[in-house]
Structure 1
Amino acid sequence: MKHSLWLQTAYKRNAYPPLDKDVSCDVCIVGGGLSGLANAYFLAKEGKDVILLEKDEILCGATGHSTGKLTVQHDVVYADLIKQFGRENAKLYYEANRQAVLFGESIAEGDELRNADSILFSQSKYGTEKLQDEMKAYEEIGIPGELGRNSELPLKTEATLTIKREAQLHPVRFGQHLAKLAVQAGARIYEKTDVRLMDLKKRVVYTSSEHEIQFSNLSLCTHYPIEALRGLQILKLSVNRSYIVSCYANMPLQGQYISVDNPKRSVRTVYIDGKTHFLLAGESHVAGTEKATQIHYETLSFELRNTYQLEALKYGWSAQDPSTPDLIPYAGIISSSMPYVYINTGFRKWGLSNAIASARIITDQIVGRENKAISLYAPDRTGFGSFLLQALRNTGLVVKEFTGGHITRTDSPICTHMGCRTRWNEADQTWDCPCHGSRFRTDGSVLEGPATKPLDLN
């Protein structure tokens, strides 16, 4: 696999222990990314007895493979949110994520966070019209944006839409710091602790090492939720994979950028231990549908050299991003029949601010505090029409890949989630499932769910 800049430059730390006994708690959190750690911190601060389980090491999943942007500017989104949900709900989404940015600023230390302007830019008339529509949405909601032509990038830029003084993170160092704060508040974190089974009626989680966690509430903060849950949104999430490359640069950018035209590109710099790194991201596709993924790294690396006049690739990594049908993540009670089971997923490539915002929502639900965003993020909010459309798309892909995969890729191992044939990812050296996004290492062990069991490579 390629190497994430964030994981390669993480703080040195002692590992959290694996769970070695039966335990009980108020809240059991499954997943040690930023969303799980933020859940653990907020709940522990409320006096809840919290246990967090991570099957590998904390922050090594989506958080450690992100672009590290902590911002309310989630591409061109607010005009669409107003159309789908109305002005007040679009404003709620903005305010929830703005509070997440402020929280990040309030706890970060050293170079874990720096402020930067968030900037959308267009390179075509069509893109400029999109920015103009988005600016109207900003004005309607009350977002302090500026429409103009302000770019440091060596690109032809027709227009820009800027939100000043947003934030960008070293997501792993920031997450490691948040984990320490969670533990100081009383949370217990266990690494190398894989969930094998959950008995939701008995409120028990069973680990692969045959230990039990008795819980009052369960918060699922895995990237793609564990499969065997009542009411699981298994057909309400699509999964996309995108790529990031990085190299050394001479000067940091003052802004962090996203193009609104195709090809989509995300650009930022980060200053780590005396060196400036340039990050270029893009080249997305439906997870598990491509074998020759090296071409995406090569395309971005070519742009580094020829567009930005920077040296050859230093780091390259990729990430998977589940998306809901309607732009808003799922955060809250997964089913009214089990009001003690919570889900937290579907961040649509904006998992840093939404992870924190979602953790606030779940915390407020568990402690019984009012939060106006609860209904907006509720997992059961999606209407039948949007669900049916997404289900048809995803089910069609599953059927196609299940039948076609078994015929044409007879040498590929079968995903242990729902029986689809995996596809070998040459660039990342992983087995990827095109049906629901599970990923496996070269030895067959699970890298990303919803699969919970390793591949049979024999």
Structure 2
Amino acid sequence: MSAESVWWQHRGHPPTQPADPDPGQAGPDETFDTVVVGAGVTGLTTALALVRAGRSVLVVEARHPGAVTTGRTTGKVSALQGTTLSSLTSQHGSGGRRRLEAYVESSLAALDWVAAFCEETGVPAQRRDAVTYAAAPEEVPTVRDEHEAAASLGLDVAWRGTPDLPVPAHAATVLADQLQLDPVALVLALLDRVRAGGGRLLTGRRVQRLRQRGEVVHVLGEDGLDVRGEHVVLATGTPVVDRRLHFARLTPQRSYLVAYRHPAPPEVMALSAGSPGRSWRGGEVDGSGLLLVGGEGHETGRGRRESTRVDRLRSWTAEHFPDAVELAAWSAQDYVSLDGLPLVGGLGSPTSRVSVATGYRKWGLTSGVAAGLALAGEQTGAPVPWARDLYTRAPRLRDLPAFLGVQAGVAAGEVGSLARGVRRPPSRAATEAGGCAALPVCTHLGGTLRWNDHEQTYDCPLHGSRFSADGEVLEGPATRSLARLPRRGGRHAGETT
């Protein structure tokens, strides 16, 4: 089992069996207007917008709603996102200005939508300043660049030369009136409204392939899953059905979070501009003050031990917030596209009725909501005004170096994983699950998996697929469990001591 987020820790998981009539038993003539694969914030926002427009919707989830990235985020919805805008400005140049303006418009639209939804449904949410700050003097120019990029794109940011923060800070840019919340509370409220509008949910079924026949797409998977939709939305992080090799245009990244009980948590959402970055905010859980500290991001399955990364966050917190008492430590995965912008739109021929949404750059509660609104608008004939400029994917020659860089990283990740091997075998209890050990070879494209000593998972350094200690798929492009090694002479084949 992976380390659990504080959002689930205090409430437990919802049941994996659907309360609705099992859509897997739908009659041979039942076809939904849309089948949404994935019950995180992107999938559920898409589903809710569609049912509100009168469409019939089925949401299919391999585990339970909010099980993957959404239920493991910091819970921030913001148009100021660390150093994102200056980075995108540098990457896209003056020719990409309209796309960056559309990106900011989409972030503000998502913020307004989430705020209105929380007010409508009673989901607790707090308005907070979003802060990007320089933790060291050499980071001040980076923060200045972000401030100027944000201001040039229309955000009402304020410069602080001497910011009043509880950690060392030499300058900051501040955007007021952003939003923080419990992301699982958001997921559960979205699900409730989807069901109230007639949408249906099927959990515990993993989608493995699609087959388009005329104007109907068959969604096929585990346990004989075969449901049909006139449209399909793959809201699964990286697409789990991928005829256009989206996984080769994405870099999977993990980052870490530690939650603490704290007597006086900060009332800002802050992110440092340097490396390693530190993300922190205050809040409340179970009626007590909550401090969230995050950072130590890296490409999935690569670099130093995961437990070492979490320990670095703990040491930083002990230095700057000595009254903090740890509650939970976990990690989350997101994806960065070649051009740094969300990758949203049609999957293309031969599955022209299938759409994907990914590449949120660790800002999924903002960009995922925006993607859901855009995908629903496209299907209902009411497109959102910024979608065409933001999600355009015309091939560009300057994408080639980024693509080659991603693939070079993939190759290096495999070489490094082979050199290290599986760091150490999982616990005896894990290896004895099912009477045999999992073969640490990814079922997506055969990458050599690396043992994650914090999450107790197998992680693929190629394209970010992750598996539990007993070999079950957790996330990524893989859709099939790991193969098993039978016992030999009382010891699992391949097991070391």
Fold shared by both chains (TM-score > 0.5): yes
For 1:130 and 1:336, how far apart are their aligned partners in 2? 42
Distance 1:82 1:402, change over 3 A: closer
RMSD of the TM alignment (CA)? 2.2
Opposite residue 25 of structure 1, the aligned amino acid is F
Q: Which residue is 1:438 aligned to?
A: 465
- C-alpha deviation, 1:329, in angstroms: 0.4
For 1:318 and 1:288, how far apart are their aligned partners in 2? 13
* TM-score, length-scaled by structure 1: 0.93
1:139-218 aligned within 5 A: 139-149=151-161, 151-201=163-213, 203-218=217-232
* TM-score, length-scaled by structure 2: 0.86
Distance 1:295 1:320, change over 3 A: same
State whether residues 300 and 464 of structure 2, in contact with CA within 8 Å, keep that contact through their aligned partners in structure 1. yes
**Residues 407-426 of structure 1: CA deviation (Å, up to 9, x unaligned):** 65278611000001101111
1:343 counterpart = 2:370: no
Distance 1:401 1:126, change over 3 A: closer
**Which one of the candidate residues 372, 381, 394 is aligned to 2:385?**
372
For 2:78 and 2:395, how far apart are their aligned partners in 1? 25
Distance 1:243 1:404, change over 3 A: closer
Greater displacement, 366-375 / 398-407: 398-407
SS of structure 1 residue aligned to 2:108: helix
1:42 counterpart = 2:34: no
Q: Which residue is 2:488 aligned to?
A: none
For 2:297 and 2:147, how far apart are their aligned partners in 1? 26
Q: Which residue is 1:33 aligned to?
A: 40
Q: Which residue is 2:308 aligned to?
A: 295
- C-alpha deviation, 1:344, in angstroms: 0.5
SS of structure 2 residue aligned to 1:39: helix
Opposite residue 24 of structure 2, the aligned amino acid is D
- C-alpha deviation, 1:429, in angstroms: 0.3
Runs of 5+ in structure 2 lacking a partner?
426-438, 486-497
- C-alpha deviation, 1:179, in angstroms: 0.9
State whether residues 424 and 431 of structure 1, in contact with CA within 8 Å, keep that contact through their aligned partners in structure 2. yes
**Which one of the candidate residues 195, 203, 220 is aligned to 2:234?**
220
**Residues 180-213 of structure 1: CA deviation (Å, up to 9, x unaligned):** 1111122111111111321134511113111311
State whether residues 472 and 481 of structure 2, in contact with CA within 8 Å, keep that contact through their aligned partners in structure 1. yes
SS of structure 1 residue aligned to 2:441: coil
1:8-407 aligned within 5 A: 8-10=9-11, 17=18, 19-22=23-26, 23-83=30-90, 84=92, 85-108=95-118, 109-110=121-122, 112-149=124-161, 151-201=163-213, 203-227=217-241, 229-290=242-303, 292-335=305-348, 338-378=351-391, 380-386=393-399, 388-402=400-414, 405-406=417-418
Opposite residue 321 of structure 1, the aligned amino acid is D
Matched residues, number: 456
**Residues 205-260 of structure 1: CA deviation (Å, up to 9, x unaligned):** 11311131111111100011114x33232211001111111110011322110001
Opposite residue 454 of structure 1, the aligned amino acid is S
SS of structure 2 residue aligned to 1:209: helix
For 2:157 and 2:395, how far apart are their aligned partners in 1? 30
State whether residues 123 and 189 of structure 2, in contact with CA within 8 Å, keep that contact through their aligned partners in structure 1. no
- C-alpha deviation, 1:150, in angstroms: 6.0
SS of structure 1 residue aligned to 2:151: helix
State whether residues 212 and 350 of structure 2, in contact with CA within 8 Å, keep that contact through their aligned partners in structure 1. no
State whether residues 290 and 425 of structure 1, in contact with CA within 8 Å, keep that contact through their aligned partners in structure 2. no
For 2:97 and 2:408, how far apart are their aligned partners in 1? 34
For 1:246 and 1:125, how far apart are their aligned partners in 2? 28
For 1:451 and 1:14, how far apart are their aligned partners in 2? 24
For 2:440 and 2:458, how far apart are their aligned partners in 1? 8
1:404-415 aligned within 5 A: 405-406=417-418, 409=421, 413-415=440-442
State whether residues 226 and 449 of structure 1, in contact with CA within 8 Å, keep that contact through their aligned partners in structure 2. yes
**Residues 16-41 of structure 1: CA deviation (Å, up to 9, x unaligned):** 51643144211111111111110100
- C-alpha deviation, 1:154, in angstroms: 2.8
- C-alpha deviation, 1:450, in angstroms: 0.6
Distance 1:133 1:56, change over 3 A: same
Runs of 5+ in structure 1 lacking a partner?
none
Greater displacement, 139-148 / 351-360: 139-148
State whether residues 10 and 172 of structure 1, in contact with CA within 8 Å, keep that contact through their aligned partners in structure 2. no
Opposite residue 146 of structure 1, the aligned amino acid is A
State whether residues 344 and 358 of structure 1, in contact with CA within 8 Å, keep that contact through their aligned partners in structure 2. yes
Distance 1:140 1:204, change over 3 A: same
Distance 1:158 1:407, change over 3 A: closer
**Residues 348-392 of structure 1: CA deviation (Å, up to 9, x unaligned):** 000001011001111111112233322334363352422x22332
Q: Which has the larger radius of gyration?
A: 2
Opposite residue 74 of structure 2, the aligned amino acid is T
For 1:269 and 1:296, how far apart are their aligned partners in 2? 21
State whether residues 440 and 448 of structure 1, in contact with CA within 8 Å, keep that contact through their aligned partners in structure 2. yes
- C-alpha deviation, 1:102, in angstroms: 1.0
SS of structure 2 residue aligned to 1:314: strand
SS of structure 2 residue aligned to 1:420: coil
For 2:395 and 2:263, how far apart are their aligned partners in 1? 47
For 2:7 and 2:107, how far apart are their aligned partners in 1? 23
State whether residues 111 and 272 of structure 1, in contact with CA within 8 Å, keep that contact through their aligned partners in structure 2. no
**Residues 249-273 of structure 1: CA deviation (Å, up to 9, x unaligned):** 0113221100012220101011123
